[in-house]
């Protein structure tokens, strides 16, 4: 074993790792493992009965797999964001209970009975739907990622936050059940709108922020979903219960929660969230607007700063997530030397369009330093850029849409650190 620890934190986990090492090296063990040879309580007594937890939560040993926020980012948690613990998850579906939250005026409590959805503006018949009405339309199921435009936004000027949760955790991926927005627009009738090519749909929420956004009609009629279930159950309060808008592949701010009104319009409203915020300032001081699509991006979730290697040298699974707002992920490459050489990773399963794709590189680690990177390629042939490439075009003040290649420095002791490389 070349595995060594130097830091206090790792020493602590090293205790656990020591036990693992003993059992992992079973061929060398000359004392029997008491977990096997001695009768354990759980093998003799009984466990909880059914209904011990009518709605189950993760077992206590997983209590560190939680959303976390970065307090200095915002003035108050009511208008703030927290981060999905992506470093501790596998597969692609994000459980609702640890999927990141972003509120502009807090998560409100809105009963289904009190829910109303209005469609007005340039429609043949302005309509009001109850929640029950929505469940009577033909509905669809789709898995989509929802990524905040500001994900990785704190990393523009340099490596700043030490953990995949904090650098890339403004994302979640769920299976939504809902009614296509086009079905509802069609129900209200679009003849009045005339030529739909230049028309817009303005959507807003029932909370105090309203968080209104303008969406071009083409997108509204394409794949937007008025969703009321996620991962099979009702949306959580913090994700817009009872109804939110799903805008596949586009920035999370447009996925209006507590959706209450849809207005067909001649032009964009140019609301606060699409002018003063969610616009990307370039080096020369001009700003891009309407940068809706989330470009292809990936990150290695393990090993990563919050998910170090504790099992010593030998076989290791490098694992991560990739996604693109332009469609399917077709390939992910991994580099262990900071981008000098690349090898193609294995996809957990073939990528779904505008959804998270899990990738793995099953390899060996001999305790050497690695500069780990991943690079996503989507079905349009777009290759995830380096931070240098992004800065060359945009400078460092864009805040939003930072989809750069991330680097983790894996050290001999198994720890990983967020670094920037030349």
Partner 1 sequence: MSKFLNILGPAVGGAAGVLGLAYVAADQFVADIPSVAPRMVTFATAATEAEETDTTAAEATPATPQTETVAANTSGFGLGRPALAEEIAAWDLDVSPDGTGLPEGRGDVFTGEEVFAENCAICHGDFAEGVDNWPVLAGGFDTLADKDPVKTVGSYWPYLSTVWDYVNRSMPFGAAQTLEPDDVYAIVAYILYSNDLVDDDFELSHENFAEFEMPNAGGFVVDDRPETEYVNWRSEPCMTDCKQSVEITMRATVLDVTPDEEGSGEASSMSHDSGTQMAAATPAATEVPAAEEPTAEEPAEDAPAVQVAAAAAIDRELVKSGEKVFKKCKACHQIGEGAQNKTGPQLNDVFGRTIGGIDGFKYSKGFKAAADEGRVWDEAAMYEFLSKPKSFIKGTKMSFSGLKKDSDLEAITAFLKANGG
* Contact indicator for 126, 262 with CB cutoff of 8 Å: no
Span near partner 1 by CB under 8 A; candidates 201-209, 312-320, 345-353, 355-363: 201-209
Stretch that binds partner 1, among 51-59, 193-201, 240-248, 351-359 (CB under 8 A): 193-201
Q: Residue 311: CB partners within 8 Å, gap ≥ 6?
A: 17, 20, 21, 24
Residues near 291 by Cβ (< 8 Å), separated by ≥ 6? Answer: 149, 251, 278, 279, 280, 400, 401
* 160 is an interface residue for partner 1 by CB under 8 A: yes
18 binds partner 1 (CB under 8 A): no
Asked if residue 9 binds partner 1 (CB under 8 A), the reply is: yes
Residue-wise DSSP of 235-269: PPGGGTTT-EEE-TTB-GGGS-TTEEEEEEESS--
- Select 175 or 396, whichever has its Cβ closest to partner 1: 396
356-385 b/e (C-beta count within 10 Å ≥ 16 → b): bbbbbbeeebebeebbbbbbbbbeeebebb
Does 178 help bind partner 1 (rule: CB under 8 A)?
no
- CA–CA gap between residue 382 and residue 252 (Å, rounded): 21
> Which x/- pattern over 113-142 shows residues binding partner 1 (rule: CB under 8 A)?
x--x-xxxx--xxxxxxx-xx--xxx-x--
- Contact between 375 and 333 (Cβ < 8 Å): yes
CB of 33 to partner 1, least distance (A): 19
Least separation in angstroms between CB 30 and partner 1: 26
Q: Closest distance between partner 1 and the C-beta of residue 50, in Å?
A: 26
Where are the strands (E) in 148-246, listed by range? 171-180, 200-205, 213-216, 225-230, 233-234, 244-246
Q: Nearest approach, Cβ of 408 to partner 1 (angstroms)?
A: 10
Strand ranges inside 89-212, DSSP E: 102-103, 116-121, 127-130, 140-147, 171-180, 200-205
Residues from 235 through 294 that contact partner 1 (CB under 8 A): 260-261, 263, 265, 267, 269-272, 275-276, 279, 281, 283-293
| Cα–Cα distance, 81 to 96 (Å, whole number) | 15
**8 Å CB contact between 408 and 418:** yes
Omega within 30 of 0 (cis) for the link into 303: yes
Our CB check for partner 1 shows the closer of 92 and 103 to be 103
Q: Which stretch binds partner 1 (CB under 8 A): 30-38, 100-108, 145-153, 240-248?
A: 100-108
Q: In terms of CB distance, is 92 or 144 closer to partner 1?
A: 144
First-last CA distance in the chain: 32
Residue selected from 12, 29, 141, 346 as contacting partner 1 according to rule CB under 8 A = 12
Of residues 60-99, those binding partner 1 (CB under 8 A): 60-61, 63-64, 66-72, 74-80, 82
Q: Is 175 in the site for partner 1 (CB under 8 A)?
A: no
Residues with Cβ < 8 Å from 381, sequence gap 6 or more?
none
Q: What's phi and psi for 391, nearest 5 deg?
A: -65, -35
Which residues inside 323-362 make contact with partner 1, applying CB under 8 A?
333, 337-343
Please say which residue, 92 or 134, places its beta carbon nearer to partner 1. Answer: 134
Size of the site for partner 1 (CB under 8 A): 137
How far is the C-alpha of 346 from the C-alpha of 323, rounded, in Å? 14
Q: Is 420 in the site for partner 1 (CB under 8 A)?
A: yes
The answer to whether residue 320 forms part of the interface with partner 1 (CB under 8 A) is no
Pick the closer one to partner 1 by CB: 19 or 29.
Answer: 19
Note whether 405 binds partner 1 by CB under 8 A. no
Q: Which stretch binds partner 1 (CB under 8 A): 25-33, 38-46, 170-178, 192-200?
A: 192-200
Q: Would you count residue 42 as binding partner 1 (CB under 8 A)?
A: no
- Which CB, 92 or 171, lies closer to partner 1? 171
Shortest Cβ distance from residue 284 to partner 1 (Å)? 6
Binder to partner 1 among 204, 303, 322, 356 (CB under 8 A)?
204
């Amino acid at each position: 074993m070349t595995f060594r620890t130097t830091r206090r934190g790792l020493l602590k986990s090293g205790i656990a790792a020591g036990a693992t090492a003993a059992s992992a090296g079973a061929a060398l063990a000359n004392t029997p493992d008491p977990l096997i040879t001695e009768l354990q309580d759980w093998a003799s007594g009984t466990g909880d009965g059914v209904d011990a937890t009518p709605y189950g939560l993760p077992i206590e040993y997983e209590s560190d797999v939680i959303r976390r926020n970065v307090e200095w980012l915002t003035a108050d948690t009511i208008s703030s964001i927290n981060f999905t613990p992506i470093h501790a998850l596998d597969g692609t579906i994000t459980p609702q209970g640890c999927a990141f939250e972003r509120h502009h005026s807090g998560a409100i409590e809105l009963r289904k009975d009190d829910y109303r959805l209005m469609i007005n503006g340039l429609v043949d018949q302005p309509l009001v739907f109850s929640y029950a009405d929505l469940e009577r339309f033909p509905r669809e199921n789709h898995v989509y990622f929802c990524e905040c435009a500001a994900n990785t936004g704190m990393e523009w000027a340099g490596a700043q936050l030490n953990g995949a949760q904090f650098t890339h955790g403004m994302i979640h991926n769920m299976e939504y059940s809902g009614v296509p927005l086009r079905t509802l627009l069609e129900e209200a009738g679009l003849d009045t709108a005339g030529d739909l090519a230049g028309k817009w749909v303005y959507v807003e929420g029932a909370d105090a922020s309203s968080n209104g956004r303008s969406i071009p009609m083409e997108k509204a009629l394409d794949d937007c979903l008025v969703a009321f279930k996620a991962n099979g159950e009702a949306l959580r309060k913090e994700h817009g219960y009872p109804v939110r808008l799903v805008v596949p592949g586009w920035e999370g701010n447009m996925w209006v929660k507590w959706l209450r009104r849809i207005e067909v319009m001649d032009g964009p409203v140019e609301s606060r969230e699409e002018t003063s915020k969610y616009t990307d300032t370039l080096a020369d001081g001009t700003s891009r607007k309407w940068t809706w699509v989330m470009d292809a991006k990936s990150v290695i979730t393990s090993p990563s700063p919050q998910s170090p290697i504790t099992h010593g040298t030998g076989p290791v699974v490098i694992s991560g997530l990739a996604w693109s707002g332009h469609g399917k992920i077709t390939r992910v490459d991994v580099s262990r030397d900071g981008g000098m050489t690349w090898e193609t990773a294995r996809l957990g399963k073939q990528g779904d369009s505008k959804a998270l794709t899990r990738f793995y590189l099953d390899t060996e680690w001999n305790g050497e330093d690695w500069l780990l990177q991943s690079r996503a390629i989507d079905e349009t042939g777009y290759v995830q850029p380096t931070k240098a490439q992004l800065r060359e075009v945009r400078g460092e003040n864009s805040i939003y849409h930072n989809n750069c290649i991330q680097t983790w420095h894996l050290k001999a002791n198994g720890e990983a650190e967020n670094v920037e490389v030349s």
